[in-house]
Amino acid sequence: MGHVVVVGAGQAGSSCVAKLRNSGFEGQITLIGEEPVPPYQRPPLSKAYLLGDMALERMFLRPETFYSENNIELRMSTRVDAINASEQTVVIGDETLNYDDLVLTTGSTPNHLPASIGGALDGVFVVRDLADVDAMAAQFVEGAKVLIVGGGYIGLEAASVASKLGLQVTLVEMAERILQRVAAPETSDYFRKLHSSHGVDLREGIGLDRLLGEDAVEGARLTDGTELDVDFVIVGVGIAPASGLAIAAELIIENGIKVDAHGRTSDPHIWAAGDCASFPYRETRIRLESVPNAIDQAEVVAENIMGAAKDYVAKPWFWSDQYDVKLQIAGLNTGYDRVVTRRTGDAVSFWYYAGATLLAVDAANDPRGYMIGKRLIEAGKSPSPNVIADPETDMKALLKA
């Protein structure tokens, strides 16, 4: 059956090796990860784990014993230095490992602030892995002053945790509004009010000029000339696909590692899945940074390694937890020209349309709206915007229309 080597022990890597074994693959499997712990859930890192509500072991995707019991060699604290595609080997230090199929599930890396504006000072953190969160945890002391750079979901989630723990939170967003890259003004307005009601000092249309301090951060100068006292900084200014190994191996790169509908790269023996992979979607090509995508795409790759020749059909959905609000997002809003707001009690949802076509739904504390919206989008159904906006509409009936 051969040897499958999976590089990247996150959600996609763990899902791929589990699917291989569950589907009857009897060959050798090696899962390689740089972190010193088994694959774990990342979303709780910046929320339940940082709050102290979830122990590390509860975040493990599968018990550590799962890998040995299923004859999967899990190599932790291991860095792959290179891929030799012509010889079908990966290089780990002085060791060379042969593969029949190689799967890259290397994920993504957070963007950092340039050292020239203070990004290398002590007390400046990103939120990506366990080490990042463990490093910043001691800073979360009641009354501490934290500056959050970036008003995307990572920055807003960090702000909600810091606020809950009694810190003084200032968040700066260089764009004219928070969530500008990913959401409509209506969603931005909703979360601006939410954070302001919890005492977060939100400053939109204002960027960071530079951080101040000798060795450790002590303050910040903003682009409007304001200077702030700062105890530590959390940077949430986006992520980039971790494509370094693929680039060095001369695989085709297009906003991440380019794969076909089966998950295969430009090399017939190398596959990719998760945050690092860009794939065909409808009439275009996209890269999805989400847990559901990492799981589903990795499982399709596993099936295709075993000969299924199955296309990956993405069904995009995402979520974000902030304070007592659960935001659930279905679909992709790219190209929308109208947003319809639906309110029922405390639940609110924002429905994105392009002409008469429903594209996506942002649902805040509205699981029913989210589930119905998701099913409508996946079925290609587009109810009239006026019907959606009417609180008297029987939403379930729309699925049968």
Q: Mean pLDDT in each 10-residue stretch from start to end of the chain (401 residues)?
A: 95 98 97 98 89 92 96 98 98 98 98 98 96 95 98 96 97 98 97 98 98 98 98 97 98 98 98 98 95 98 98 96 97 97 95 97 97 96 96 91 76
Q: What is the pTM of this model?
A: 0.96
pLDDT at 47: 85
pLDDT at 130: 95
Would you state the pLDDT for residue 52?
Answer: 87
Query: Measured between alpha carbons, how far is residue 256 from residues 82, 145, 287, 289, 349 in Å?
Result: 17, 36, 7, 11, 32
Residue pLDDT, tens place only, 212-236: 999 999 999 999 999 999 999 999 9
First to last CA, the chain: 48
Q: Which residues contact 260 (CB under 8 A, 6 or more apart)?
A: 279, 280
Residues 42 and 10: beta-carbon distance below 8 Å: yes
Domains of the chain: 3-109+239-305 (3.50.50.60), 112-235 (3.50.50.60), 324-398 (3.30.390.30)
Angle, helices 291-305/11-22, rounded to nearest 10 degrees:
40
Q: Could you give the dihedral angle defined by the CA atoms of residues 127, 131, 137 and 139, in that order, rounded to the nearest 10 degrees? A: -80
Q: Kindly calculate the radius of gyration of the chain based on its CA atoms and give it in whole angstroms.
A: 22
Dump pLDDT digits (tens) for 126-152. Answer: 999 999 999 999 999 999 999 999 999
